[in-house]
Amino acid sequence: DSDSDSDGAADQPKKKKIAVMTSGGDSPGMSPAVRAVVRSGIYFGCDMFAVYEGYEGLVRGGDLLKKMEWEDVRGFLSHGGTDIGTARCAEFRERKGRLQGAYNMVVNGIDALVVCGGDGSLTGADLFRSEWPSLIEELVQTGRLTAAEAEPHRHLTIVGLVGSIDNDMAGTDATIGAYSALERISEMVDYIDETANSHSRAFVVEVMGRHCGWLGLMSGLSTGADYIFIPERPPKHGKWQDELKEICSRHRGYGKRNTTVIVAEGAIDDELQPITAETVKDVLVELGLDTRITTLGHVQRGGTAVAYDRMLSTLQGVEAVKAVLESTPDIPSPVIGIAENQIVRQPLVDSVRDTKMVATAIEAKDFDKAMSLRDSTFAEAYEAYLSTALHDDGSQLLPETERLNIGIVHVGASLSALNATTRAAALYCLSKGHKLFAIQNGFSGLIKDGVIKELSWLDVDGWHNKGGSEIGTNRSLPAEHYGDVAYYLQRYNLNGLLIVGGFEAFTALHQLESQKELYPVFNIPKVVVPATVSNNVPGTEYSLGSDTCLNQLVNYCDAIKQSASSTRRRVFVVEVQGGNSGYVACYAGLVTGAMAVYTPELKINLQTIREDIDLLVDVFDGDRGEDKNGKVVIRNEHASKVYTSELLSDIFSEAAKGRFETRTAIPGHVQQGYTPSSMDRVMAVRFAVQSVKFIEQWSHKAYETLHQGSSHHAVNNLKMLDVMRTHPHNSVVIGIQNALLVFSDIKALYQDDADMRLRKGKTVHWENLSEVGDILSGRSRLRDRR
């Protein structure tokens, strides 16, 4: 096989042969990564191979090195773990094992290897590449390869993908599998909470992470844990026991019925003494709490990948193949990461070196350095954890004169992360001495009843995972009665306002802003926290609730695809939410392996329908019977007035001529989810804390201007509002842009980015999702063939 390629006509470019393997501990998302590598490789004209059983397969060769076709990876997107097996291979650690690996690659004509694994696997990969020329030399000298056989293989291309649940690799904000593991942990702790509440018990939950506290920290945020132990921020030796007791008793004192403490596997104190679940339990027992330990273990690796990991592994898999195709001998081996929401390439050596530096820093007790080596959001998340879990001890209270009254209102559809946002805002406010007032039942509630309620610590207890809105939400807007809204904001002396919701929240903020001249109280700082399944709020690439929605859609589509397993030839037209924005449809299309995606941005026409029918016919014809599942086509609810889901389904049925059947499937309100996803919960805390901080900063600025540093004045009065008037940028949308947390001025957004008629932002930040989705579904391949 290899000969035929190397001897090919001189003007024929040699077909690249790329192998993909998964190695080390498995993680959800590895199978989707393999699918993406194999299919995009084929799309770009390469021969693709899978190395089964990690480096073991490379060393043993034979059947463990298998040529992969397009159909071989069908269904991989919905599979947990790795379909091509993984192993730990002692032989590969020895030169002898690597020599055999090199031999097996050369005889199969493979010139590039994409390795998906943790830092160990990637260290091995890097070593393999640096040794490669000498391995080839040895194979020639020992007569196992002829010089002619060896010649085309003087260089090895290695590309790394980070598959690890720990999120411990430098150079990437997220590793493939980390968010799935976080989701598993959060689900399990939710279950434990129920029984803990019933019996008024304490639970010590041990989570994975030998050298990395990411899972510990993020699960602490998403489960509202009382305390967490992570290696990067170890508590004081001999002192932590008392601190833990104090915190847990304080929380119990408010009336909390359960206690949750999360311990990362690698937890230590600042003298590097291990802190185990057992030692933590003993402390809680001393406190008089009925305490149990739950070690989550391999459950954390289990299950299928969440939407985010399917997206990450898919985009990164495609990028890995591009990196192979663009590699030259002088470019160092890259590892594919995600940084600032962009898929990026970093030199593998640097990532491995920086990853090791964390462990070294911890060993040297340089914990600040260990923290700084984590990705940019780690420290911010840790601060958010402190302020929502520990700083109710009065240590962070602001002087009386700087304490604020802040209102929070929910606007728009009910959603799963609204309560988590309110809870985090309330806890942060309490830690500073501010008061958070819940405006009940949206703006119309305020206008009709004028009832607002100050939230206490216990009021918001347990809201981290509670779906819906405890304070009530609806679509009403301030324009219903500006005068009444102004009256109540004034009457309750509010110094700032959080408006949580989707496009209505955006509209509400703009309305208040436009009436500032008439109603001075509208000059208070105001922040929209974007929360909508549709993710259509201008100024942000992320809205709370959309991740929950995507996970719902992943589960929904997996289930309906499987429901077709006995008939095999069934296509579902799945109608998804999103308003006039195609974000949810494109993302869902990518992570469910949809054959086609129809969005409002890309108009449906007869030509695309024709092409997609051809694709479906082609897919069912090519089906070798191994893949028993149905196929999915995703249609956004507003993709077309004419081509409704029913009509599309009927057209497909008619054209199928019995080759397949078609059904519509409309998940509807299921997309709002029951409990919020762990990513939404973590982001809810981030958004809430940062939004209140924004209000604090503006109030502080106005106060300083007014009183020139003197601190003996009450904070709220008309003069303050007057000062605010001269600060035109205090009304914003908080959001994520390029993974950075940003505040965008409402007026600028309204002018430049808002499409008020279509109720969405004009910026499309998800183009690459549909491009990659089309490559992997075969849609692009079919188009190119025409």
* Alpha-carbon dihedral angle through residues 165, 171, 173, 175, given to the nearest 10 degrees: -20
SS3 per-residue string spanning 116-165: EECHHHHHHHHHHHHHHHHHHHHHHHCCCCCHHHHHHHCCCEEEEEEECC
Which of 665, 661, 655, 657 is CA-nearest to residue 606?
655
Smallest distance, Å, CB 188 to ligand ATP? 20
SS3 at position 433: coil
Minimum separation from the CB atom of position 628 to ligand ATP (A): 31
Residue 341, exposed/middle/buried by CB under 10 A (0-12, 13-18, 19+)? middle
393 is in an annotated binding site: no
Candidates 86-94, 461-469, 556-564, 750-758; binding stretch for ligand ATP (CB under 6 A): 86-94
Among 28, 80, 118, 235, binds ligand ATP (CB under 6 A): 118
29 is a contact residue toward ligand ATP (CB under 6 A): no
Decide: is 24 part of the binding site for ligand ATP (CB under 6 A): yes
565 C-beta neighbours (distance < 10 Å), count: 12
Element (H, E) at 767: helix 767-777
> Smallest gap, in angstroms, from Cβ of residue 115 to ligand ATP?
9
Q: How far is it, in rounded angstroms, from Cα 760 to Cα 532?
A: 11
Stretch that binds ligand ATP, among 20-28, 195-203, 699-707, 729-737 (CB under 6 A): 20-28
Contact region with ligand ATP (CB under 6 A), list: 116-124, 132-140, 270-278, 348-356: 116-124
SS3 assignment, position 710: coil
Check binding of 302 to ligand ATP (CB under 6 A): no
119 counts as binding ligand ATP under rule CB under 6 A: yes
Nearer to ligand ATP, 23 or 259 (CB): 23
Closest CB to ligand ATP belongs to which residue? 120
The residue with tokens 């190397």 is: 6
Question: Does residue 783 have a known ligand-binding role?
Answer: no
User: From the list 61, 69, 107, 127, which residue makes contact with ligand ATP (rule: CB under 6 A)?
Assistant: 127
Compute the distance between CA of residue 604 and CA of residue 409 in angstroms, rounded to an integer: 38
3-state secondary structure of 294: strand
Binding mask 140-179 for ligand ATP (x = CB under 6 A): ------------------------x---------------
| Binding span for ligand ATP by CB under 6 A among 23-31, 228-236, 429-437, 482-490 | 23-31
User: And the tokens for 269?
Assistant: 């104190």
The residue written with tokens 């009709």 in the block is 448
Query: Are the C-beta atoms of residues 444 and 504 closer than 8 Å to each other?
Result: no
Q: How far is the CB of 5 from ligand ATP (least distance, A)?
A: 29
Shortest Cβ 30–ligand ATP spacing (Å): 11
Which CB sits closer to ligand ATP, 351 or 388?
A: 351
Check residue 778 for interaction with ligand ATP (CB under 6 A).
Answer: no
Q: Does residue number 57 form part of the binding site for ligand ATP (CB under 6 A)?
A: no
Instruction: Give catalytic status of residue 547 as yes or no.
Output: no
Contact 501, 411 (CB under 8 A): yes
Q: Which stretch binds ligand ATP (CB under 6 A): 7-15, 17-25, 534-542, 548-556?
A: 17-25
Asked whether the beta carbons of 132 and 102 are under 8 A apart, the reply is yes
CA distance 362 to 357: 8
Tell how strand 473-474 and strand 452-454 pair up: unpaired
Close Cβ partners of 778 (under 8 Å, ≥ 6 residues apart):
39, 70, 595, 615, 618, 619
Residue 100 binding ligand ATP, by CB under 6 A? no
Decide: is 80 part of the binding site for ligand ATP (CB under 6 A): no
Binding status of residue 23 toward ligand ATP by CB under 6 A: yes
- Does 309 sit near ligand ATP (CB under 6 A)? no
Q: Is 124 in the site for ligand ATP (CB under 6 A)?
A: yes
- List the Cα angle 345/778/85 in 5-degree steps: 60
Q: Does 592 bind ligand ATP (CB under 6 A)?
A: no
Out of 16, 17, 25, 180, the residue judged to bind ligand ATP by CB under 6 A: 25
743's enclosing H/E stretch is strand 740-745
Given 121, 346, 431, 730, the residue binding ligand ATP (CB under 6 A): 121
Residues in the chain: 786
272-280 contact pairs (CB < 8 A, 24+): 272/234, 272/362, 272/363, 272/365, 273/237, 275/229, 275/234, 275/235, 275/240, 276/206, 277/204, 277/205, 277/206, 280/204, 280/229, 280/244
The answer to whether 81 contacts ligand ATP (rule: CB under 6 A) is no
> In angstroms, how far is CA 382 from the centroid of its own chain?
17
- Residue 692 dihedral angles phi and psi, to the nearest 5°: -65, -40
Residue 290 labelled as part of a binding site: no
Of 93, 448, 568, 765, the one binding ligand ATP (CB under 6 A) is: 93
Catalytic-labelled residue, pool 26, 72, 83, 166: 166
Q: Is 166 annotated as a binding residue?
A: yes
Spatial separation of the C-alpha atoms in residues 549 and 571, rounded to whole Å: 22
Torsions phi, psi for 335 (to 5 deg): -115, 140
Residue 120 engages ligand ATP in binding (rule: CB under 6 A): yes
DSSP labels, 497-526? EEEEESHHHHHHHHHHHHTTTT-GGGGS-E
Largest CA distance in the chain: 91
DSSP 544: B
User: Nearer to ligand ATP by C-beta: 57 or 502?
Assistant: 57
298 labeled binding residue: yes
What is the distance between the alpha carbons of residues 684 and 690, in angstroms, rounded to a whole number? 10
Hey, what are 237's tokens? Answer: 């030796």
Among 120-128, 226-234, 412-420, 706-714, the segment contacting ligand ATP (CB under 6 A): 120-128
Query: Could you tell me which stretch among 69-77, 84-92, 237-245, 458-466 binds ligand ATP (CB under 6 A)?
Result: 84-92
712 is in an annotated binding site: no
Size of the site for ligand ATP (CB under 6 A): 17
| Distance of closest approach, residue 166 Cβ to ligand ATP, in angstroms | 6
Residues designated as active site: 166
Which residues in this chain contact ligand ATP in the complex, by CB under 6 A?
Answer: 23-25, 55, 88-89, 92-93, 117-121, 123-124, 127, 164
Binding positions for Mg(2+): 119
Binding positions: 25, 88-89, 118-121, 164-166, 201, 208-210, 265, 292, 298-301, 475, 532-536, 570, 577-579, 637, 663, 669-672, 759
Binding positions for beta-D-fructose 2,6-bisphosphate: 475, 532-536, 570, 577-579, 637, 663, 669-672, 759
